[in-house]
Structure formats: structure tokens, C-alpha cells
Structure 1
């Protein structure tokens, strides 16, 4: 649309989404010389307008300074604001987080495309500039890379243009409006527009100029658009390169174009070109011959230099373009990359920074791409909008497969309180929404089309179905047949099932996926969102990754999601914390549902990543006593860049270590002997550890970083030297039975049992107390986010009460020459038929053996945990354990853990999830030492089978009662919880999916565990 005057009514007009905006084009760079292009230097024909702008904030349109754009209007007294940046994160307006509901739900009675005029904040921006020297005679344009959600632009008092679509660029021609000397640029940004109905993503609702803004000029003959396409022959060996170019400018007529393809070492592979440009269009096709292929495993990029010469033969422009030769296609209903079946080991990624919101930096992106690669992910879905262009360049260079998703989500128009109710769904089949939706698709494709990392175009997210989205998919296929099209929403509206080339579902259970795959499907399957990683989650992920080898048409999935969307805030005492929805007084809000990341918002990797990295390994290692089976599931990369490191540990202590140079070809396996000589080992528990590490540093990791690992644990029954008996450790057992207490003294051990309270109330080793609050049976864990989603507080809450007040109904004891044994029997308020016993046995060596038994009954809910918990002094602030680790792990999330001696501060065992909850558990615990900073303390040892153990600054009940970390009390204790078993954490979703049955704890049986407490 063209116009010379701004109209505020465009905001609510679904037919107006751009005015005077330039057509979308590719995101290539261009230079005057080959030297600049080869150096990938800053563009001299681009002038950055990022930085400090003058700013005025208005709470609604009728309060705005309407004539601020005029030349005579003074911005003196206005505030400063940083561009790029969100208005709401710089001290203005309301920060708000909602998920599926629209942000005005319950506040305004609206149906699309109507807008809440009383709550449509306006940001007025002013920036002055002088044109760079030499630009005066050239055309000058301005590019806004991202503005949310709609904006008007004026230059020197004259209207320039209008744009919507927050996540793709809007460019305008400034040439007619420029003046000598200082130029006044004015931008008016509205938080709400018709586009807001299409941008109902699960994220914080911001507004403002949040991506780069820059001026640019072009040479006399300029390539406005580049379209690079590659193809491979049937052998996937020889490549073809096709180029479509659009030239403009006064020297375009009669210009000559030359293209030079260079390999990654800078050697020229092929030079070709066109002697004459007709109608500004150039089409070139060249057979390149044998090429190196691009894949996420080996992201080989060529460099194409497109040179433009004017009619006189002068070089006027050079465009450098990365080129990756790869072919993505469907073969026998299975997606293939370069002829090989692909499995997406993916993650959904929002652009986010806890201080800058979605205005992320290059440093953020570099950290992200390295972290994703380091943890064996090979794919990213840009949920749910096109990202900054730099992200795609990094994915090309580092090697990640990308689902590029257009900026469309209308979740709240069809799903209400979890129910599908599409009575007023948009866009649906409504023709009036066709153009605005299609514009977003075109803008994404035209900008991003040259990135080899992008394999799939996505029609958006959670916008139900209908004809409009179907037509978008048809556009994708016509405009770019080299890629496939994704859309999950057809699951809810099968009328246009061909919208998506693959069956894509969200949060389907493994059994549901298998049902689909076993029913002769016509499409391959991916989980575009799975493993909802909210809080303490990712349990049971192995059930999904195991499908990869079982079903060829199961082609992986994308974890929801990469990073917590939480924002720094200060509590009432001025201490900074990571806040979630509702913490800013935002209503409506979906509260902590913004915290689903496998990375914390401050870009610290969560403990959940331990499981992700292991289950996403392309190389599987299966060690045994004396060998390792290596299964290389890479499609293209052998193991020549890796070194095999092996070690043998006995009781957690390394016995030997070595390295081997092993090269296993892609898609093959091998068995390698390990020089461990297991038969000659003395008795004990051993762990064979094997790992592949990088021989040399890569873009994404350092030399020596681990890529894959495997572990084999075995017990050697051979001759074990008998432990020498230290007579000094064996003492007589002295028992003093009082009226209320029974004291037991053995050497430097002194235990005190209370008849009144029915428990151990004191245990001193060498005069130092270990019991601050006595042990008590525990059947409750602080609910995780997933637990709350399954209403654990309602369904299993009786175990909460049962844990608060167990009643000792009987005690009995007996003394023998070499031990003293006391047994406490407890009843619980949950049922008269449940019986719990805790037996303490003090031995002559001063150790205390603890045996906990549970006898259940029918009709009770499953147990969250079967444990014994006590509190000790906070001076015991260090923990070291021989257990599965090093990060926290649970029964359904321990595949990525390994047996070893691990240690940390007690304070660090509690994971910093947004909402305090159960965290810090370790499975497979053989022993643990709790010490003060002088090294004094006590040891807990499993007796018989390994136990689970949690050492925390807080009790389950303190964690349960806190909604934020700052609500937790000052640390007064170290809390020790020894468990026979704790239920898994789950992760299929966070709103009703139960923990898988094998990781639950039935309450109708008998349970027991044993451990020993002894002095260090």
C-alpha cells in the first residue's frame, strides 16, 4: 500500500499491515571491493542508528504527543531510551507474561481485529542524524529489523511509512525526505495492532524497537535480492548451483555479473557469469562437479563472491554469500539429508536475555550455539518467529538443522482453559486474514532463503487449522521446493492435512506415538514440542529417544524449551532475583509457566542438560569388563577427530587410565579391546568409563571436551584382602536406660534415644553433634512443577500430612555383647493399616545401622518418596558422595549420570528453579560424607542396595511453602534425606502427564532400605 499521510486507523485494519514498505529481500551483505568482502568487514554502505534515542511514553493513543514528528517540535525534556531494547524493560509501562490467553483477557471484551484502545501504549522515538560523507547523491534507505508490534515512521516532518510483523524487517526509502545537515527521524510504536492477534506466543508481552536499526545506501548497480539454490545428483556427489539475482540502480542496465565459488580454504572452484543483465534479472546455473556436502555433523561452507561490473567494466559491488551443498528430501515416507535418514535431536529456542528480553546480543547467540552443539543437539526450531539473521549464519557455520517458523500464533483464539473451542479462531478460513498472514510468510522466506541450515519452513505455531494456513503452506512449496513444510495445527483440523509434510504433534506420549507409527502412516513423525522442561523435569526422555531406532518414520523431536524466560527483579530488600509472570503485578498472568528451559535464564546450564546430552549422543559407547562396543550413528562423520579415553575406577578411585586412537566410520560399529585385565583385580565394585573427547578445539568446543561417554559397573568377587581389625575401634557397649531416654555409648560414639519422642535425638561422634532435628519417616517431597500439573497436592496430599506427624506407638530394644538394637514403630494418619518401623543398631565399632521398613495397604495413593530425614548443623556445608552424578538425578532421569565421587557445597545441591521445589537428589548412593570446613563430620553408607540421598539447606516443607527463592528462610540446618526410593520427576508435559508407572512407588506393598552412619 502507498500513502503520504499516516492514519491511526491502520492499527485496527486487518487489510493494512504495511504502507510504503519495500519488498522483502535476502539478508546478504554487499561491499565496494573484494578485499572488504573477503574480510567480511563492517559494511561501509551501512550506518548504524543503534544507541540512545529521545523517548516519550504514553499510556494510550489519545495521550501521545501527536505532532512530535514535525521539524519544529522540541524533544527537550524527553527521556533517553536505548535502541535496540524493549520499552517495558527500560522503566515504562507494564511487564506482562501470558501463555495462551491474550493479554487483555478479562480486561476488555474484544474480538479480532478490535484493539484495547485504553491499554494501547505508545512509544514516541526521536533520533537525529547526518548522512555519512559521500552518501549525498545516493539513494538512502532505513531498515528496522524488529519493532513490536506496529510503527509509523516520519523523516523531517514527512510521513515515510508504516509496518507490522514484529519479527521480520521493515525497510523504507528515505531518499525523497532527506535534507542537508541534520535530519530528524521520528518513530511512533504501538504496543497493540491487528498483528497482536497473530502474536499470541507463549512469551513476555513487550513493545518497542528491539532489533537493530540502520541506514544503508547502495551502489549505482546493486543486487537487491539473491536467491541461491543447490542440488545434488543421485549419487549425492556432484553439485549444481543456481542463482537468481535482482539488480537495481542507474547502472544496472548493461551491467555484467560474475560469480566465483571458493572452497573453505579460499581456493577458486569455479567462476561463471552473465555478460548482460536484462530487466534487472539474472539467472545462472552451473555444474560444479564433486562437492563437499553440508550437514550439521560436517557443516562445510563454500564462499560465493558475486561481482557486479558496470558497462565500463568497473567493479561496483561484491556480494559474499555462504553456500552449502545439501539435499533435503522425502524418500519412502522418510525425511533424508544427503541421502541419509535424518533424526532431529532438537530444541525449541526463544530469543531471550534476563535483562534485555528478546533484544539479545551477538554474545548471547554465540553462547547459545556453542552450548547447543556441546550438548549433542543437532536441530533448533525458531519458536515461534523468525530470529535475528545472525542466528541463521551461526547455524550455517556451526552446523544446526533449523525449522524456521513464521511469526504466527493465535493460541487464545481457539484454545480456552485447555479445551479446543474454535468458534472465533483466526485466521481459520477467513479471507480477510489471508494477506496479513501471507505477508509474514513471504517476509520470512525472502529474507532467510539462502541459509543451508534451514531445512523446513513452519507455518507458525498453535493457530489451529484452516484454509489460510493451508495456502501459506502452498506458497512455501511453490516458492521453495528444496525444503519441506511443517505445521502441527493440522492435528486439530484435518480438513487440510496436506498443510504439513510431516505428522507433527506436541506432547504426545510415547505410546500415542507408537500407535500412530504402527498404523501404516503416510507421513513421518516428529515431536515439534516434547519433554516439557519446566522446573525439575526431563524424566522419561529415554522413552522417546528409544523410538529412533525402533521406527524409521520416527524422526526425532524438539525439547520445549531451551532457555527460561525469566527477568531480573529486586525483592523488597534490594536483592536481585530471577522473576516470573505475576511478579511485576501483571494480571492476567500465567506466572511461572515461562520457566521451561534446559538452560537457566542467566545462561547457566541446568542439571537437566546432563540427561539431554547423553540421550542425544550420536555415538553410543557400551563398555564391558575388557572391551567397548562403539556404535557410530553419525550419518557422515567418522570418529577420526575424537580420542577414546578409558579409565577403571574401584570404589570411585581411579585405578588406571589410557587413550586409544579409534576410527569408526559413520553408520557402523566396532568392538575395541581395553587393556583392563579385569580378572586380576582385587574384589570390590568397579566402573569402566569410556569417553570420546575432541582431539582439537572446534568452533563450538575446546580440545578435550567430551562428546560421548558410556559406563559399565561390575562387582569383582575375587580374593579381597581381609580388612585388618583395629582393636581401638572395637569397644564395649554401655547402655544407660533412664526414665525418658536411653543412652548408648561406644568409644567416641554417644547415641541418645527418646522414649517420649520415639526416635534418635542425639548422635555424637567425638563430642560433635550430628542431630539437630531428629530423624523422622518422610513420604512427601516438595512438589515439582510437573507434580503440580498432575495435582499431586490434591491426589497424594495425604502423604504430606502423614509426614508431618507420624506417631510412635511402640518401641522395643535388646542388647547383645556386640550391639544395641532399638526398634520404633510408627502409625500414620493416612491409614490405620500402614506400619512403619525404624530400627537403629549401634555396633561395637561405633557405627549406627538404620533399617527403615514400610508396610502398606490397598486404597492409598502412590508414595512420592520413602525416606528418613533429619537435620544436622549447617556447619556441615560440604558433601561428597560416591553416587550417580555429578548433577542431580532421579529414577527416570539417571541415564546421563555416571557413578563416581562427586562433591559440592550443600547450598549448591539445590537447583535454582524459578519456583523452589524438589531438587538435588542423587541415585545410586554408595556413601556420602558431610563435613565442615575443617574436614570434620560424618559418613552415610548404603547397607546392601544403594540408596537415594538429598542433602539440602531446606526441608521439603520449607520448599513447598515458598513460591520464590527469596521466600525461603535463612539457612539454619543441613537437611539430610535418605530414601529407599523417590518417584521420578516426569516430563511428558507439565499439566497432567503422570510419571511413567515404572518410576512410581505403589503404596500397597512392602518397602525397605538400610544405611549406616559413622564417624569420619
Structure 2
């Protein structure tokens, strides 16, 4: 599309999405010398324009500085902006977060392809640059790797071109207008364009030049595009290599090309001269026996290509890393190198809490290492093509990729969850075909040579129709080495041929099983599942258990990898992670941007503990005589791993060992072990087994644990607190009762109806009395099920109870005080708490709940009280080290863990229930001197426990962490049961039934309050 005069009409013309833009091509690097190419040196024919640019901001097109691109216009007084970077994160305008709706919904009555004339921020950029001497006299091109969402370009006052599509490169020829010396580059960026109707992803709405900008030149003979196909034969052993080079050169017939294929050690495997075919240089040859590429063994070869001119001089050198692999549909299964694949994946936005989608190499390195350390083997680039470096890292580190084109039109067909496609785009509107297809072509042509990419995706949540089906057919015709994905056909089965696999979002395990039991024609994946919003990912095991139950279940991609939260300052100047609405952005979807396994500041959440365990490919099952090792890898054996095992007694390690093991992929082995005879020492034992890296890998140091398994057993009778010798003194007054002994006194109040004081050696342990608790601070998933509405009566019951009876019983060496409580929620609901005080100051606390039918299920059944915040240290013998819940504890292990109390709650984007530990045998709550209280339970009947600086009610009423009160207490909550956290989705999916607490269920639990290190 050639135009010399730009027009603002293009912004809402569906037919104009590129003007003078170069055709998309591969992202290969090229050099003057092979030495530079093999060293992956900075490209010597590229010049970065990143850095400070002059900048002017306008709220709409009418108020922009129109003649700024002209040579005579002086921009020296303008402010500066950093490129790459977003306009809204550098002081101009505000970011806006919305999920499914368009950002202008309800503000302006717009329908595609029209855009607002009043609310369309414009960024005018100017970069004055000197043309490097090395580029003088050569053709000069400019590459914009990412600009959101549409932009116009001028050089030295001359119009260069226009482009839409925020997430693939836009390149232009500057040669006719470039000058020696200083040049003036002007770029006008519009936040909204026709393309904005196609970019309704679940993310912050931002704009600007947010990826790299650079000049580049090319030698007189240049490979503009290359296509590498590194396949395997039908036995998956021999490599089949095809390379096609598209050249631009006036004397093409005199060009010579040579290929050397080198292995990872730099050895030349083969050498070949290129042959011309239909104007392109072709290499087509057998590579012989090769090491196949997979995520487990990401073996890369180097295709070293030398281009020589008519004089035999080296003109251009290219090193393209490639992996031999075959991905195919075989007997209705997706297979990598002949083996059924299971995607243990996540969806990943490009995101940094300070720079938005302008992420760095360091961000990407941290991400890829985190994926590998967490046993995540696949990524879906939700919902747009990523920077080239990300695919290179996935090639190198070994991660399978679904590469997704930049398409989402969610707000055009789904409104508040209801499917209403009356004005859906693109649908069957052929007027949108070219602009949509352009995005597909740009992605494929750039990314086609990355072995990590197994699947092309037609975009996300854009319903279905002929336009997207045509895109799918284009993928297949252009690249038959990959499969095609699209979930939206779920809503219109007329276009089922769009997707090669059945792909669904947030299908519950039972729904998936129903599909798999229906004799389906396509294998199944969940392109999004386990909505990890806030305290979530409960019940993940119900999905991973399907992997070995159904061959056509081939995994899924958790939503999602990282919270999209932006650093902001509160009114007191303190930084916090902000979400939708915090920038006064309306409309907004508020905290729905917080769905990550990783926090926005790249701190790993406790949810990853569960993911890492359930995604591990090797399973360890220790027994008292053997460790069973099941290697579910497809290709990798255990040669690079060391088995380490330990035996613990009551949390204390008593022996350890290690062994080298040789377990081939897809096989099982049982390793005999010898442990000490422990029959004479009663108590609880735990055998833990781990696989650790023998040597450092790209993604972790030597000794890093990749795999874990454990088993526990009890020798002798279940541990109980023994009845101590001695007597207690009981004093009953009109209002209070006390039970005392050597060095302690416990006071109970008839008026309060609880234990009101517990002193050891004069130190008070109780700040506010224990009381029954039925309410937890609602999680994001709880809010999604409207728990406050359906079960809010339990909130009230937790605040207001009536002590209807108290009773004092005296026994030899002990005394018991019993309180019975009734609640307004139902006359049938009662709680009895009995405190038995022993002669050594230990208090046995027994709680009995009797419920009633017809009431909402219980969020929690617990006893909660406060201690002084001076008791701010904790040591646990429980499941850990990170928080865990009854439906998210597979990845937790039994052990002794220590942490400050204020570090126990997890800093989710919105304060909510967090920090719970299951399987609590013992937790000590002490001051820094180690003095305080120990809470203990029988290992055969452990409790759950939560320590926090905040009550459930303080958390409930805070929308941000800065709204929480100053810390005055340590809140101790001991639960007989707490419901799971759920995670099938965050907008209505209940916690699975087996992890709920029926209101009619009778529950009894017991724990002990014991002094800890109080001097006598």
C-alpha cells in the first residue's frame, strides 16, 4: 500500500493498516564475518535508537502539535521520554485496566471500526540522530519492534509510512530520505485505531513505542528472509534439513552460498553448497543421525550460512540455531518426536511492574529460569507475539510454545459473561479479513524458525467465523510442521475445523472427563485453566490426575504466570502495587489483573509450590525399605540427577543418604535403602526423597531440587501430652475462675465466656480471649462465588455469640472449664470449648461444633485469639514451607520451618485469607528471645493454623495492604477445618465438594497450649 500523504482517516479505516511497510520476514541475525556470527556479537549492521526522545503529549488528535515533523519546527523545548517505554507510565495520561470490555464501553457509543475523536491520546516523538559512518552510502531501514497501537513516521520532513499491529515489527525503507550527518526522525503514536478493536486483551491499556527501535543496513547481497525446516525421519533418528533463502541482489546468479551444520560442541556435521530454485537459494539434505530437540533435552545445532559475491568474497554470515524435532498429530494424539506430549503450561503476559510491557532481557531470563525451576514445560504467549528474545530463550532452555497472534475481540461478543455476538468481529465480515490476516502473516514470517514453537494460535476469545478459519488454513498451508489452535470454536461448532485440538477455558475436571469419554475426534487441552487469582490453585491435582487416566488429555496452561500490577505511590509517598481503578481509570475491572503464580515484582507466590510438585515429570514414592522412582519423561533419563533421601523423627533429621540412579525415560525403578531401626523409639517419622541437579544447568545451580516425594509413619502409640504429676489450685469467684500451679495461672471469665488470661512466670500470653471463628477473609475466588452474600451469616456468627452455659470440673491434678455457645444463625448451632488445665500449665483445648441442616457451608471452624505483637516469631512443625490448604497441599512437605509472623501472610494484590498451614503438629509463637506459647496437636489428628498481624475482619475490609491497621497483635487462629481455596475459575466455580465444610457436619478438634522456653 503506497501513499505519500498521510491521513487521520486511516485510524478507523479497516482497509488501511500498513502504508509503505516492508513485508514481514524472519528474525535471523546477519554479520560481516562468521566469527562475529558464531560469537552472537551485537549486530554490526544495526544501530539502536533506544534512549531519550523528545516528546509532546496530546489528549486527542485535535490538540496535537501537527507540524512537529517538519524540519523547520523546533522541538528543543519539549520534554523527554524513554524509548522503549509506555507513555502512561512516564508521566502522561493514566493507564487503564479492563478485561473483557472495551475501554470506551459506556463512555462513547462506538461500533467497529470507528474510534473516538475526543479520547485518543497522541504521543509525538522526535529523535535527532547522526547516521553512523559505517552506514553512510548504504541502504538504511528502520525497525520498530513494537508500537501501540498505530503510528505514522516521518524522516527529515518526508512521510515514510504508517502501521498498526502493536506486537509485531513494523519496518520501513529510509534510504531515499536519509542524510549524512544529523537526521530528524518523527513518530506520531495514537493509542486507539481500528487495530484497537482487535486488541481487547485482558491487560492494561497503554500506548507508545514500547519495544526496541533501530536502524539497520544490509550488504549488497543479503538474505532478507530464511525458512529453516529441521525435521526428523519417521523413526525420529535421522535429521532432515531444508533451508530456503530469499535474496535481494542485482546479480543473484553470481551469488554462492555455503552451509555448515555444527553441533552444540562446534563440530561440523555436514557441509553443503546452496542451489538456486525459483530465484531462491535452497539447501535440502539429510543430516544423518541427530540429537532431537525437546523441552527435556533442548539440543540446538547451528546452521552456519556464508554468502559470497561474484568475486568469492564473504558478504554475509548467518548463524541460525535450530533443533531437529517433529510435532504432529498421530492417532488423534499430539506427539513430539513420536511421543505423546503433555503440556504442563502457563499463560504469560510480557510484564514488568514498573515498565509495563516494555520488559528487559533480565526480566525474560528470570522468567525462563523460573519456569524451568518450577517444572513448567510450556508457555502460551497470551495473547500476542512476544519479543524475539523470548523465543530464543525457549529454544535454548527448552520450553514448548503456543505462539498466539495479536487478536482478541472479547468485548464484541461477550458481555458480562453472556454470549451475545450480534456485532462480533471479525466473524464472517470479510472486510476484516486482510487486517486480521496481516497479523497472522507478521507472526509466522518472523517466528517460523524457532523449534520451541509447536503450535500457531489464531488469537484469543474472538468468537468464531470464516475470517479466523481462513487464518487457520493459512497457518496449515504455510507451515505444515506445526498444528493450529483456537479455543473460540467452542461457541460455534460450525467452525470446528479452525482448531486441530479441542481447546477449552476453565472447564471443570468433570466436564473434561465427559468430553474424553465421548469418543472424541480431537485431543484435549485447556488453553486456560486454574485461574490463579489471589489465593487460588486449589484442586490442581484433579486436573493433573487426568494425565495418566486419559491419553487424549494433553495438559493445559494455567492462567496466568505474572500479576499485572503497577508500582504507584499512596498519598503518603509509599510505593505499592496498584491495580485497576487505582489510577482513577474508569471503566475498569479492578483487581482482576492479579492472576499470577508470580507477583508483579517477580516474587514467587506460594501457589508455585503446588504447581512445581504436580508438574514434576519424575515421581518419587519413598517407603521404609525402598524408594520407587517413576520417570515419566518422554526422552530424558536421570543421569544428570542425584537422589537424596532423609529420615526425620518429629521434624529432626536423624539420617541421610544419596545415590546415583539410572532410570530411563518412561520406566520405573525401585531403589533399596537402609534406614536405622526405629522401632524402639516411638513417635512420628518422615522419609523424604529428592532429585537434585548433579551439575549446574542454565536455569539452576548444582544441588537444585527438581523432584520431591515423602511418606510418614508413626511408631508406637499416637503421641499425647502426658498427664503431669502435681496438683492445681482452683479458685472460683463470682465472675472469674482461676486454675494455677507452679509458675502459671489461667483465668476464665464467666462474664466474657472465655479464657481471658494465661500467664507463665508472670508473662501474659492472651491479649484478647479465644472465641469460635466461622469466617475467613474472603479470597478472590470466594468473592467470585458471592460467599459474602450466601454465607455472610457466618461472618455475623463470628462477631456475636452468646455464652449460654459454663461449667467447672475438678479432677486429680487438673481442672476443666467448659463454655457452651449459641448463635443467632440457628438455634441448633452450638459450640462447646473445654479447657483442661494440667499441673504443669499445659492447657488441652477441645472444641466441639454441632451444626444444623439448611445453612450455608462453613468457611472455617476455628478458635481464634490475639497475643501481643511482641510475640512476632514463629517456628512450625507442619506442612510447609509455604502456605497450604486442604485442596492445595500436594506440594507441601512435613518439616520444621521458621518465619517472622508479619512474613506469614501472603501479600496478594487484595488482602485476603492467606498464610494457612495444614498438618500442624506444633507451632511456637515467641518473642525474639524465644519466649512465648507453643500450640501442639496429635500427629494423627493435626490441626490447621494461621498466624497473622491481622484479624479476618481487618483483612476483609481492606482493598489494599496500605489500608490495614498498624500492627498491635499476633492473631492466632487454630482450625479444625478450613475449606479449600478453589481455583477452577474466579467468577463462580465453587470449591470442590470434598473440600467444603457442610454446616450440619459435627466437628471436634483438640490442641494444646504449652509454655515455650519460659524460665522457671
Classify the TM-score, shorter chain.
over 0.9
The whole-number CA distance in structure 2 between the counterparts of 1:680 and 1:733 is 36
Instruction: Please give the residue correspondences for 1:737-756 in structure 2 after superposition, counting only pairs within 5 Å.
Output: 737-756=732-751
Q: Decide which of 885, 889, 896 is 1:901's aligned counterpart.
A: 896
Q: Could you say which residue in structure 2 is the equivalent of 1:534?
A: 533
Instruction: Please give the residue correspondences for 1:228-267 in structure 2 after superposition, counting only pairs within 5 Å.
Output: 228-267=228-267
The whole-number CA distance in structure 2 between the counterparts of 1:438 and 1:64 is 32
Instruction: Please give the residue correspondences for 1:426-437 in structure 2 after superposition, counting only pairs within 5 Å.
Output: 426-437=425-436
Q: Could you say which residue in structure 1 is the equivalent of 2:793?
A: 798
Instruction: Please give the residue correspondences for 1:216-227 in structure 2 after superposition, counting only pairs within 5 Å.
Output: 216-227=216-227
1:558 CA drift (Å): 0.2
Please tell me whether residue 499 in structure 1 is matched to residue 498 in structure 2: yes
The SS at the match of 1:987 is: coil
Root mean square deviation of aligned Cα:
1.2
Gaps of 5+ in 1: none
Distance 1:718 1:937, change over 3 A: closer
Q: Could you say which residue in structure 2 is the equivalent of 1:758?
A: 753
- Residues matched between the structures, number: 1011
The whole-number CA distance in structure 2 between the counterparts of 1:186 and 1:493 is 45
1:283-321 C-alpha deviation (Å, 9 max, x unpaired):
220111100100000000000111100011000000110
Q: Decide which of 857, 860, 867 is 1:865's aligned counterpart.
A: 860
Q: Could you say which residue in structure 2 is the equivalent of 1:836?
A: 831
The SS at the match of 1:550 is: coil
Instruction: Please give the residue correspondences for 1:498-577 in structure 2 after superposition, counting only pairs within 5 Å.
Output: 498-577=497-576
The whole-number CA distance in structure 1 between the counterparts of 2:438 and 2:673 is 60
Please tell me whether residue 272 in structure 1 is matched to residue 269 in structure 2: no
The whole-number CA distance in structure 2 between the counterparts of 1:293 and 1:820 is 73
Q: Select between 942-951 and 763-772 the one with higher mean Cα deviation.
A: 942-951
Please tell me whether residue 711 in structure 1 is matched to residue 706 in structure 2: no
Distance 1:691 1:314, change over 3 A: same
The whole-number CA distance in structure 1 between the counterparts of 2:251 and 2:378 is 43
Contact 1:847 1:1013 in 2 (8 A): yes
1:360-409 C-alpha deviation (Å, 9 max, x unpaired):
00000000000000000000000000000000000000000000000000
Q: Could you say which residue in structure 1 is the equivalent of 2:453?
A: 454
The whole-number CA distance in structure 2 between the counterparts of 1:311 and 1:332 is 51
The SS at the match of 2:118 is: helix
1:282 CA drift (Å): 1.2
Please tell me whether residue 22 in structure 1 is matched to residue 14 in structure 2: no
Contact 2:629 2:669 in 1 (8 A): yes
1:731 CA drift (Å): 3.6
Q: Decide which of 935, 946, 953 is 1:950's aligned counterpart.
A: 946
Q: Could you say which residue in structure 1 is the equivalent of 2:978?
A: 982
The SS at the match of 2:351 is: coil
1:843-887 C-alpha deviation (Å, 9 max, x unpaired):
112111101110011111100000000000101101111100000
The SS at the match of 2:1009 is: strand
Please tell me whether residue 773 in structure 1 is matched to residue 764 in structure 2: no
Contact 2:559 2:595 in 1 (8 A): yes
The whole-number CA distance in structure 2 between the counterparts of 1:279 and 1:136 is 33
Instruction: Please give the residue correspondences for 1:555-954 in structure 2 after superposition, counting only pairs within 5 Å.
Output: 555-678=554-677, 680=679, 682-717=681-716, 730-943=725-938, 945-954=941-950
1:792-828 C-alpha deviation (Å, 9 max, x unpaired):
0001110000000111011011112211111100001
The whole-number CA distance in structure 2 between the counterparts of 1:254 and 1:2 is 32
1:991 CA drift (Å): 0.1
Gaps of 5+ in 2: none
The SS at the match of 2:37 is: helix
Q: Could you say which residue in structure 1 is the equivalent of 2:1011?
A: 1015
Q: Could you say which residue in structure 1 is the equivalent of 2:109?
A: 109
Please tell me whether residue 210 in structure 1 is matched to residue 205 in structure 2: no
1:221-268 C-alpha deviation (Å, 9 max, x unpaired):
000001000221111100110011100134544111111100000000
The SS at the match of 2:124 is: strand
Contact 2:757 2:765 in 1 (8 A): yes
1:180 CA drift (Å): 2.4
The SS at the match of 2:66 is: coil
Contact 1:145 1:211 in 2 (8 A): yes
Q: Could you say which residue in structure 2 is the equivalent of 1:135?
A: 135
1:674 CA drift (Å): 1.3
Contact 1:682 1:718 in 2 (8 A): no
1:677 CA drift (Å): 3.8
Instruction: Please give the residue correspondences for 1:77-476 in structure 2 after superposition, counting only pairs within 5 Å.
Output: 77-274=77-274, 277=276, 280-476=279-475
The whole-number CA distance in structure 1 between the counterparts of 2:124 and 2:533 is 37
**TM-score with structure 2 length normalisation?**
0.99
The whole-number CA distance in structure 1 between the counterparts of 2:546 and 2:689 is 25
Contact 1:561 1:598 in 2 (8 A): yes
Q: Select between 127-136 and 962-971 the one with higher mean Cα deviation.
A: 127-136
The whole-number CA distance in structure 2 between the counterparts of 1:216 and 1:389 is 16
1:279 CA drift (Å): 6.4
The whole-number CA distance in structure 2 between the counterparts of 1:625 and 1:380 is 39
The whole-number CA distance in structure 2 between the counterparts of 1:175 and 1:76 is 26
Q: Select between 138-147 and 812-821 the one with higher mean Cα deviation.
A: 812-821
The SS at the match of 1:88 is: coil
1:278 CA drift (Å): 6.4
The whole-number CA distance in structure 1 between the counterparts of 2:823 and 2:510 is 37
1:280 CA drift (Å): 4.5
The whole-number CA distance in structure 2 between the counterparts of 1:590 and 1:252 is 56
Contact 2:679 2:715 in 1 (8 A): no
Which runs of at least 4 in structure 1 moved beyond 4 Å after TM superposition? 277-280, 678-681, 722-725
1:712-738 C-alpha deviation (Å, 9 max, x unpaired):
010112899x9999xxx7442111211
1:428-468 C-alpha deviation (Å, 9 max, x unpaired):
00000000000000000000000000000000000000000
1:77 CA drift (Å): 1.5
1:491-549 C-alpha deviation (Å, 9 max, x unpaired):
00111101000000000000000000000000000000000000000000000000000
The whole-number CA distance in structure 2 between the counterparts of 1:651 and 1:681 is 15
The whole-number CA distance in structure 2 between the counterparts of 1:441 and 1:710 is 44
Q: Decide which of 939, 959, 969 is 2:955's aligned counterpart.
A: 959
1:773 CA drift (Å): 0.7
The whole-number CA distance in structure 2 between the counterparts of 1:809 and 1:54 is 75
Contact 2:745 2:758 in 1 (8 A): yes
The SS at the match of 1:837 is: strand
The SS at the match of 1:330 is: strand
Contact 2:264 2:299 in 1 (8 A): yes
1:722-780 C-alpha deviation (Å, 9 max, x unpaired):
9999xxx7442111211111111111111000010110000011111110010000000
The whole-number CA distance in structure 2 between the counterparts of 1:208 and 1:642 is 46
The SS at the match of 1:134 is: helix
The SS at the match of 1:958 is: helix
**TM-score with structure 1 length normalisation?**
0.99
The whole-number CA distance in structure 2 between the counterparts of 1:679 and 1:130 is 78
Contact 1:219 1:249 in 2 (8 A): no
Please tell me whether residue 991 in structure 1 is matched to residue 987 in structure 2: yes
Contact 1:625 1:678 in 2 (8 A): no
The SS at the match of 1:201 is: coil
Contact 1:853 1:1007 in 2 (8 A): yes
The whole-number CA distance in structure 2 between the counterparts of 1:1015 and 1:278 is 86
1:76 CA drift (Å): 2.1
The whole-number CA distance in structure 2 between the counterparts of 1:405 and 1:935 is 54
Distance 1:383 1:802, change over 3 A: same
The whole-number CA distance in structure 2 between the counterparts of 1:175 and 1:840 is 87
The SS at the match of 1:896 is: coil
1:679 CA drift (Å): 5.6
